[in-house]
Structure 1
Amino acid sequence: MKKLIFLFTIISVLTSYNKKQKADVIVINSNTYTVNNQFEKAEAFAIKDGKFIAVGTSKEIQEKYQSENIVDAKNQTIVPGLIDAHCHFFRMGLQQQKVSLEGTKSYDEVLDKIVAFQKEKNVTFITGRGWDQNDWEVKEFPTKEKLDQLFPTTPVAVGRVDGHALLVNQAAIDLSEITKDTKVSGGEIILKDGELTGVLIDAAMDFIKFPETTKEEAIQGLLDAQQISFSYGLTTVDDAGINKKTIELIDSLQQKGNLKMRIYAMVSGDNQQEIDYYINNGIVKTDRLNVRSFKVYGDGALGSRGAAMRKPYSDRDNHFGALIYSPERYQEIARQIAASNFQMNTHAIGDSANTWLLKTYKEVLKNEKDRRWRIEHAQIIAPDDFKNFDNILPSVQPTHATSDMYWAEERIGKERMKGAYAFKDLLNTYGKIALGTDFPVEQVNPFLTFYAATIRKDLNNYPKNGFQMENALTREETLKGMTIWAAYSNFEEDEKGSIEVGKFADFVILNQDIMKVKGNNIPKTKAVSTFLNGEKVY
C-alpha cells in the first residue's frame, strides 16, 4: 500500500510538472520594482524568448512555470534595465584608447598624464579629454607654452571635460594652419596679449585636423563602451550625435551578435547630407537599434563660457557666449525635421539658447502634442520659459548640477541661478523628465545620477543641506526618469522601461535597495548582475 501511495505521489508530481509552462528563465525571491503605472513591486517573474511572460509572487510563478534556469535573487533588489537618456557611448569607448584627464587637479597634473601616456603609447598625434580648469586652484584656461616645450614636434589636442573647449600645442596649430587672425563663427580662438593661447572654443575646434579613427579602433571602442556600460546596469544608451558611418557599424555588429547593447542613435545634425539621408530613407528600427532623431548643438558649455546667455556673464564683461549656428539655420533644420517623423533633440545650456530653441520648436510644431522633441540639458531657463516645456520634453543630467555648483553662480549670478538645474520645475511642467549622465563628460555610473537627482550633493557630501533642494526629485521620479520616462523619450515605452508582460526582459540586480537606503549610501549602489533579453551580460 505504501508503495502505491509513493508511486501515485510521484506520478502526481510529474503530471503537475508537465502541465507547467516552460520558461527560459525564472527569477524568484526578489525585491523587484516593476516601475509599471502603479509602481508596483513583485517577487518573481518568468522570461521566454527574451521577454517577460509573467510577473507576480514566487509561489504564483513557480506553480505555473518551469525552467532549467532559475535565478534565486535572495531578496536582492531588481529594477528595470537602466537607460541613459543622453550620453556619448561611442566617444567614451574611443576615449579608452586615448589619454584620460578626468579628475586632474592642476595643469601640471594634466601635463604629467600626457607625458606618461606618450611614453607608453608613442603615438604620432596625442589626443584625449577630461581636463576642467574649474577643478584647479587657478581656475583659468591653460596656455600652451609648457605643452610646446614638452612636445615641440608632436601635435597635441586634448579636450575639456564637456567637449566644448580644446587645448592644442603649436604643432597641432601649424598642422591645421590656424593663426590669431583666423575668423570663427559660433566659437572663439582664445588670445592673450594678442597671441594664441592654444585654447579653442566650440566651432573653433573644427579647425584641428585630427587623425582618422580606424575601423578596428571604432569596433574596439564600441565593445569597450558596452562592457563598461553593462557593468553599471545600463541596457539602453542614447548616443547623442553620431554619424551614419558609426550607426552602420553599430548595426552590423549588432546583427552579428557582437554588440548587444540597445542604442537609441541621435544622428548628428551638423551635417546636412546626413539629415537629408535619414529623412529621405526613414526611421531605422530593430530590437537593438533605433534611429529616429537628430542631435543639434544650440550653444556651448557653461564651464567654457560658450553657453548663450541673454545678459553678459557675471564673471566676464560684455561676454554672452554664442549660438553655434545662426537663428535662421535652426529654423531651417527644425522645419525639415518637423515635416518628417523624426525627433529633434537640441543641446541648450544658456537661457538665450533655451529661449530661441523653445521658440523655434513651438513655431514649427504648431501645437502638435506628441512629437516628443527634446531640449538636451535645459540647464539655465529664464522664468518666462518654463511654461514652454508643456509639450517639449526636458532631458537633463543631474550630475551636471553637482559638478557645476561650486562655480556656476559666479558665472551667471544669483538671480539666474533660480532657473538653473531646475529639474523639479521642468518635471512639473512637462509631467515627465528623461535622465542621463552625458558621459564621458560625467562618470558613466547611473547611481551617481540617482544620488545627484535626489540628494543633490556630490561625493564630498557637499553642500551640507543639498544644492537647491527645491528642485530635487523623489526617488520614484528619479527611477522613472532612468527607466520608463527615458524609454518614453525614445518612443520605446511599450517595449522597455518597466518589468511588465510583453516587454524586453532587461533588468538589473542591485547590491542594495536604492529606494530605501540612506541618502549618503546611494553612491555605494552597484550592479550585481545585468540582464538583457533575459541573458546575463554582466
Structure 2
Amino acid sequence: MKNYIRTLVLAISVTLFLCCTTNKEVDLIVYNANIYTVDSSFSRAQAFAIKNGIFIDIGSSEEIMQKYTAKEHIDAQGRAIYPGLYDAHAHFFMLAELLEQVDLGGAQSIAEVVERLKAYQKAYPDKKWLVGGGWDQNLWDGKSFPSKDSLDKYFPETPVFLSRVDYHAAWVNSKALEAARISSAQTVEGGLIVSDTLGVPTGILLDNAMQLVSQYIPAAEERSLLLSLRRAQDSLLSVGLTSIVDAGLTLEQLEYLKKFYQQDSLKIRDYAMIAGNPGSIDKYIRDGFYESDRLTIRSVKLMADGALGSRGACLLDHYHDAATRGFLLHSPEEFDRVIERLALTDFQVNTHAIGDSANRLILDAYGRHLKDGKNRRWRIEHAQVVSPTDFAKFSRFHILPSVQPTHATSDMYWVEDRLGPQRVKGAYAYKELLKQYGKLALGSDFPVEHFNPLYGFHAAVARVDKTGFPKGGFQIENAISREDALRGMTIWAAFSCFQEKKRGSIERGKDADFVIMEKDIMTAPAEELRDIKTWRTVIGGETVFSR
C-alpha cells in the first residue's frame, strides 16, 4: 500500500511538473520589441503572444518566450510597436475612385491641370468622361476660381468633372453642364451654381450643386470597384492603418462593402457611416445596426455646411475676404427635426461642421435632444472653426470632437485671409477641444489630405508642414502631446466608434492589430516623423503588409 501511495504521489508530482514547464502553444510570438500598449497607464512591454487573432499575453521577452511556443516568431529587433493605427475620418471609396482618375493634387496652375488631363486622356482614350480631383486655386496666381472656358478650349467634346481638393466644389466644362441640362443660373438648396453677371454658369459648382452633374458620370462596375478598393487598401496598410472610419456612404456603397467583406475580399476594418439627409433618414435606419468582424454600420453622418477653401463653410459673420457667410446644406429646422428623430434611435450621429455658425447650430441641436450624451458618443466631424463661447458645449453636452490635424497645416497659408486675425484663433483648436472633452478622435479626411497617419501625427504635435514652416508652429498653443496624438489615432479613435473594448490598444483579449515602425515616433525628432516607414502591419494576427 505504501509503495502504491509513493507511486501515486510521484505520478502526480511529475504531472504537475510537466504542466508547469510545458509551454502553451500559440500562433505568433513577437519579441525583442519596444511596445507602446496604449493601455490606461500607457505601459510599455517587450513581447506578446497571439492566438486565434487575439492578444493573449503581454510582457517581457523572457516571460513570453518561456511561457509559450509558437508556430511563428517575429524578432522586432528593438523596433517600436503600436496598436494598429485608426483613421477616425476618411473616405475609402473616394480614395479608390481617385486612384483611377486624374490626380490634380499639388497642381500649381490651370495650365498644369490641363496638361495632366491631356496626358490622362492620351493614356485612356476610351474614357467617356474625364474625372479628377485635388485641384486647389489657393496654389495658383490670383487664387481665383477657374472657369469652364479653360476646359472647353482643350476638351470641347468630352465632359469634364474635377473635384476641388476638399470635395465641396467641382470645376466642369460646357459638355458636362450640357449633360446635366444646366444652361443658366438656378437655385440649389445647400449649394450654388456660380454664374457670371449675365447669369451664365461659370463652370464652378458648390456643395449640393455638384450632384446635378456628378449623377451623370458612369458608375464603375462591381469587379472594377473591388480592384480599386483593394489598391486603396494596399496603400493604407503600407502606412500602418488597420482600421478606418468611412465618413458617409450611400446605401449602394454599403451593400458593396457588405458583399466584399462577406466574401473576405477586404482586410482593413471599416466603421462605415451612413450618408444621411433630413428627407431620407427613416429608410437608412430601418434595418438597424450591422456588425461583422471587419465591418460595422451603426452611425449616420449629416452634412451641416461646406468648406473654408471654397467659402461654403457657414460662418456667424462674413468672410474676411468676401461678402458672404457661406451657407448651410439644409435649413436649421430640417437639422433640428432629423437630430430629434435620431436621438430616439440607438444610432450614433456624426455631423460635418466647419464654420462657427454650423458648429453652434449642431452643438445646440445635439444639446436639446440628447438625454444621455455621455453614452451616445455623438461626434462633430472637423469642428474646424468654433466661437469662443461654444467650446464649453463639447463638455456640457458630451460631444466628441473628431478632427484632422493636417487640415491645420494645409490651410494655414490662407486661412487668416478667410477668417481674419481674431476669428482664426478659434480654428483648428485641438488642445482646447481636448481640454473640453478629454479625448480627440484623429483622422486624415483622405483623399482630401494624404492617408499617411504620421503626417497627421506630425501636424498635431508640431503644427508645421513638411518643410518645417512656420518656425515655431502655426498657433502652436493648440499643439497636443505625442502621447495624446497616439491615443487619438488608436484607443480614442476606437472609443469614438464604441470599439475600445475590442481594439485600440495592445491588451489581453483584444484584436491582435498592431504596427511595427522602423523608428520610434514617440522619440524621433519632429522633422523625421513624416519619413518614418512602416515595417509590418498586422490585423487579427495576420501580416497584411511587410517591408
Is TM-score (shorter-chain normalized) higher than 0.5? yes
Q: How far does the alpha carbon of each residue in 1:384-416 deviate from its partner, in whole angstroms, 9 at most, with x for none? A: 000000100000000000000000000010111
1:172 to 173, 176, 179: 176
Mapped partners of 2:495, 2:176: distance in 1 = 43
1:190 aligned partner? 194
1:525 aligned partner? 532
Alpha carbons 1:17, 1:66 under 8 Å: kept: no
Confirm whether residue 403 of structure 1 aligns to residue 410 of structure 2.
yes
Q: How far does the alpha carbon of each residue in 1:12-39 deviate from its partner, in whole angstroms, 9 at most, with x for none? A: 9x96897111110000000010000000
1:33-432 matched pairs, under 5 angstroms: 33-122=36-125, 123-194=127-198, 195-208=200-213, 209-270=216-277, 272-273=279-280, 275-317=281-323, 319-366=324-371, 368-390=373-395, 391-432=398-439
Task: Provide the TM-score with structure 1 as the length reference.
Answer: 0.95
1:5 aligned partner? none
Does 24-33 or 236-245 show the bigger shift?
236-245
Mapped partners of 1:324, 1:243: distance in 2 = 17
How far the C-alpha of 1:367 sits from its partner, in A, is 5.0
Alpha carbons 1:505, 1:534 under 8 Å: kept: yes
In the superposition, relative to structure 1, how do residues 177 and 63 fare at CA in structure 2: closer, same or farther (>3 Å)? same
Letter in 2 for 1:225: A
Mapped partners of 2:261, 2:189: distance in 1 = 38
SS of 2:373 mapped into structure 1 = coil
How far the C-alpha of 1:137 sits from its partner, in A, is 2.3
SS of 1:162 mapped into structure 2 = coil
How far the C-alpha of 1:271 sits from its partner, in A, is 7.4
How far the C-alpha of 1:197 sits from its partner, in A, is 1.3
Letter in 2 for 1:280: R
Alpha carbons 2:30, 2:75 under 8 Å: kept: yes
Mapped partners of 2:317, 2:142: distance in 1 = 26
How far the C-alpha of 1:272 sits from its partner, in A, is 4.4
How far the C-alpha of 1:217 sits from its partner, in A, is 2.5
Percent identity, aligned pairs only, is 47
How far the C-alpha of 1:103 sits from its partner, in A, is 1.0
How far the C-alpha of 1:244 sits from its partner, in A, is 2.0
In the superposition, relative to structure 1, how do residues 310 and 386 fare at CA in structure 2: closer, same or farther (>3 Å)? same
Mapped partners of 2:373, 2:277: distance in 1 = 25
When the two chains are superposed, the root-mean-square deviation of aligned CA atoms in Å is 1.5
SS of 1:370 mapped into structure 2 = helix
Letter in 2 for 1:172: A
Alpha carbons 1:84, 1:437 under 8 Å: kept: yes
Task: Provide the TM-score with structure 2 as the length reference.
Answer: 0.94
- Tell me how many residue pairs correspond in the alignment: 525
Mapped partners of 2:201, 2:169: distance in 1 = 14
Alpha carbons 2:185, 2:194 under 8 Å: kept: no
Alpha carbons 1:484, 1:496 under 8 Å: kept: yes
2:28 to 25, 29, 39: 25
2:7 aligned partner? none
Q: How far does the alpha carbon of each residue in 1:147-172 deviate from its partner, in whole angstroms, 9 at most, with x for none? A: 10111111001000000000000000
Mapped partners of 1:36, 1:217: distance in 2 = 40
2:507 aligned partner? 500
Q: How far does the alpha carbon of each residue in 1:349-406 deviate from its partner, in whole angstroms, 9 at most, with x for none? A: 0000000000111111035321100000000000000000010000000000000000
Does 102-111 or 214-223 show the bigger shift?
214-223
Mapped partners of 2:184, 2:256: distance in 1 = 39
SS of 2:205 mapped into structure 1 = strand
Mapped partners of 1:325, 1:259: distance in 2 = 35
SS of 1:183 mapped into structure 2 = coil
**Stretches of structure 2 lacking an aligned partner (at least 5 in a row):** 1-13
Alpha carbons 1:300, 1:324 under 8 Å: kept: yes
Mapped partners of 1:451, 1:389: distance in 2 = 25
